[in-house]
Chain A
Amino acid sequence: MKIFRHLTTTLVTFCAIVAAVVFAFAVVVTFVVSAFSDIEISAWNVVASQIARWFLFWVGIYVIHNVLPIAVAHGRTRREFLVAASGFSVVLAVAMSVLARLGFLAEGGIYALMDWHADEHGTPLAYFLMFLVWCVAGMFCAAAFDRFGAAGVFSVPVGLASVIITTVRIPGSGNLPFIGNIPSLLGEGWHVASVAAFLVVLAGTWAVVRDMPVRVRTS
């Protein structure tokens, strides 16, 4: 419980602060852009659907690569840590999807006042699942690289497959390099695939971390 409390109080707070700063920055950028052209897309959706998932991926890496060794060094077992980290990933994904929703509401108000037009964005459930899977995929890849070194690269296809699934129901999420737009084949039922992806990468993380040696830091 101590690990869970620590992760949620520190990292969720940190992520909320980052989200608030980025929202303010997005609003400023939107006003600057409006001076030169019409506003036809949601700046916050660019953040929520593209940047945020990579941020969540980094959080997952940080949790395993940085916090797990500290937990073990302070006498906590890997199992205790994994239980806490699994719960934390859900809480963080909920918090970030709520923040995404609040951002859309605030941005919607601003756009209405300014008579700007925003494009479509996903449902809170879609964002929640995307954030959840990207965070746990970060944990999985970090665990694989920490444990197997360069051979951890074999975790990348699994991680990539799992995160791509979650972006299908997020409009605008396929505009970054590496991950193209994927047609939505199963409607809202596609979320089941996201849940399955979450379970696969979470199970993979547990399997890799369960008896992973904690490297003694040398520098």
Chain B
Amino acid sequence: MRVDVQGLTVRYGSVTAVDDMSFSLSGNKIYGLLGRNGSGKTSLMSVLAGYRKPAGSVELDGVPVFENAAAMRQVCLVRHTPDAADKGDKVSYVLEYGAAWRETWDNDYALELAELFKLSLKAKAGELSLGQRSALGVVIGLASRSPLTMFDESHLGMDTPTRYAFYDALLNDFMAHPRTIIVSTHLIEELASLLEEVVIIDGGRLVLQEEADVLRSRGTEVTGNAADVDEFTAGLTVLSEKSLGRTKATMVYGTLDDARLIRARQLGLELGPIALQDLFVHLTATVGGVR
């Protein structure tokens, strides 16, 4: 499912959560929506899901989503606390809602996931732990098989094995049923291998939209003799530096041209990739005006 956002603004009183944002997602990929706390991720996804009326244009496959029955049927947004469940409802009842109201719902898969995440069907949603509530949200999101499925911090409270089970289930289901999936997370490195494309926002504005591999190629870790590293990185954007004795490792941002690569070889420096998370920190810190 294609997503087109044009001139989107979301305000809460005097606070602007999303500020004149425009971007397009071609669809059928797993997208990472990355941003710091308060960057506007949840507001953006709320508008994409038709939870609130947009100021600007939000279209799914070319049609507006807000109060458009055909478009809204195609969307599912889940957070760590499932919006599609009432606290007093038993898990079995929550799944029945999905089966009753969603044409694309796969109930066998929902029950399979509930077993995977060890969710008791008799337990009430409000009595589940935070991690279990997150797992219930994941069950709803994956079993909905919605052409646009969004997970907003859906891993919160999950222990590590459960998070990995979520990532595996997400990838396996995406492979079996390709669709547009947007994942918002602060655990960037855990999910980095799943993400095909990354959208970074900060302060309600779009910072960057890039293929994940292309973005990774923009950062390099330079390791070697401290003096050589300093000479090599002079004039480059340095993200961080670490020293151990005479050895120094410096992370730089920006594509290295052929002359630089030849110079690195001459100096005997090691060049390696850097983590997506480090790039994210750099990009949002600069734009956010923290540094």
Does B35 have its Cβ within 8 Å of any Cβ on chain A?
A: no
Q: Which 3 A-B pairs have the closest CB atoms?
A: A213-B52, A73-B84, A73-B83
Chain A residues within 8 Å of B97, by CB: 6, 70, 74
A3-B101, A214-B52 as given contacts; A70 in contact with B84, CB under 8 Å: yes
Does A79 have its Cβ within 8 Å of any Cβ on chain B?
A: yes
Q: Is the CB of B101 within 8 A of A75?
A: yes
Interface positions of B (Cβ within 8 A of A): 42, 46, 49-53, 66-69, 72-77, 79, 81-86, 97-98, 100-102, 146, 152
Chain B residues within 8 Å of A175, by CB: none
Q: Is the CB of B42 within 8 A of A216?
A: yes
Chain B residues within 8 Å of A218, by CB: 81
A-B CB contacts (within 8 Å), total count: 76
Q: How far is the CB of B103 from chain A (nearest CB, A)?
A: 9
Does A69 have its Cβ within 8 Å of any Cβ on chain B?
A: yes
- Measured in the bound complex, the distance between the Cα atoms of B46 and A194 in whole Å is 39
Majority DSSP secondary structure for residues of B touching A: loop
Does A78 have its Cβ within 8 Å of any Cβ on chain B?
A: yes
- Measured in the bound complex, the distance between the Cα atoms of B42 and A69 in whole Å is 16
Chain A residues within 8 Å of B82, by CB: 73
23 sample A-B contacts, Cβ–Cβ < 8 Å, listed by A number: A6-B100, A69-B83, A70-B86, A72-B50, A73-B49, A73-B51, A73-B83, A74-B97, A74-B98, A75-B72, A75-B76, A75-B101, A77-B50, A77-B67, A79-B69, A211-B67, A213-B46, A213-B51, A214-B51, A214-B52, A217-B81, A217-B83, A218-B81
A65-102: which have CB < 8 Å to B?
Answer: 66-67, 69-80
Chain B residues within 8 Å of A76, by CB: 69, 72, 101
A173-203: which have CB < 8 Å to B?
Answer: none
- Measured in the bound complex, the distance between the Cα atoms of B51 and A216 in whole Å is 8
Does A37 have its Cβ within 8 Å of any Cβ on chain B?
A: no
- Measured in the bound complex, the distance between the Cα atoms of B146 and A213 in whole Å is 21
Q: Is the CB of A71 within 8 A of B101?
A: yes
Chain B residues within 8 Å of A211, by CB: 53, 66-67
Residue of A nearest to B104 (CB): A75
Q: Is the CB of A75 within 8 A of B83?
A: no
Chain B residues within 8 Å of A213, by CB: 46, 51-53
- Measured in the bound complex, the distance between the Cα atoms of B136 and A217 in whole Å is 14
Chain B residues within 8 Å of A77, by CB: 50, 67-69, 72
Q: Is the CB of B74 within 8 A of A70?
A: no
Q: Is the CB of B51 within 8 A of A72?
A: yes
Chain A residues within 8 Å of B52, by CB: 213-214
